[in-house]
Amino acid sequence: MEITLTLNGKKRTASVSPDTMLFDFLRNHGCYSVKCGCETSACGLCTVLLDGKPVLSCSVLAVRADGHTVTTLEGLQEEASEFVGFIADQGAEQCGFCNPGFVMNTIALLREHPDPTDDEIRAYLAGNLCRCSGYEGQTRGIRAYLNAKKEGLL
């Protein structure tokens, strides 16, 4: 079946089988930031934005994205670059495998809650599996970024 969607700001039309997962579609279209760690919707590595909302692309059929907008980390480099250094400064970027999922959820969080509490940050990040550093470093990094913004340092 043929689907058309907007991927990182560009219209894409492709033929897919009815059982093609969005994850596979994205990887086949050069979105290598989208990773699959579990194929069971448990790790958050495959998080993308579907019409601006975070979804796990390993559990969404590509045909469900037909007519919608999908954004991956490749399409959000400028927005992500504002805060990823703050996360790295907290030692929360050890192996880096989980980073795209964390970044995608952080972008969604900050769009929905421009000044989140630490509990709101943890709630948004809870679906992302990080085996190296846990979640405190990411929380501290996001908080440091928000504080720098408030102080006019960015």
Q: What is the CATH number of the domain that holds 62?
A: 3.10.20.30
86 and 21 belong to one structural domain: no
* 70 and 93 together in one domain: no
The answer to whether residues 16 and 51 belong to one domain is yes
Is residue 51 left, alpha or beta, with left meaning phi > 0 and alpha meaning psi from -120 to 50? left
pLDDT in tens for each of the 154 residues of the chain?
A: 999 999 999 999 999 999 999 999 999 999 999 998 887 888 889 999 999 999 999 999 999 999 999 999 999 999 998 888 888 888 777 777 888 888 999 999 999 999 999 999 988 888 888 777 767 888 888 999 999 988 988 8
The domain tally of the chain equals: 2
Res 49: pLDDT: 97
Quote the pLDDT of residue 17: 97
Domain that holds residue 92: 82-150
Residue 65 and residue 116 share a domain: no
Q: Say what the pLDDT of residue 92 is.
A: 74
* pLDDT for res 124: 85
Claim to verify: residue 7 and residue 71 sit in the same structural domain: yes
Q: pTM of the full predicted structure? A: 0.90
Is the domain of 102 the same as that of 120? Answer: yes
Residue 72 pLDDT: 98
Note the pLDDT of residue 60: 97
Tell me what pLDDT residue 114 has: 92
CATH number where 96 lies: 1.10.150.120
Q: Which of 54, 75, 96 is the last residue of a domain?
A: 75
Looking at the fold, whether 54 and 94 belong to one and the same domain comes out as: no
Decide which of 75, 110, 140 is a domain's last residue: 75
Query: Does 95 share its domain with 70?
Result: no
Task: Check whether residue 37 and residue 66 sit in a common domain.
Answer: yes
- Which pLDDT does position 20 carry in this prediction? 97
Residue finishing a domain among 21, 42, 75: 75
Check whether residue 52 and residue 89 sit in a common domain.
Answer: no
Query: In terms of domains, do 146 and 89 share one?
Result: yes
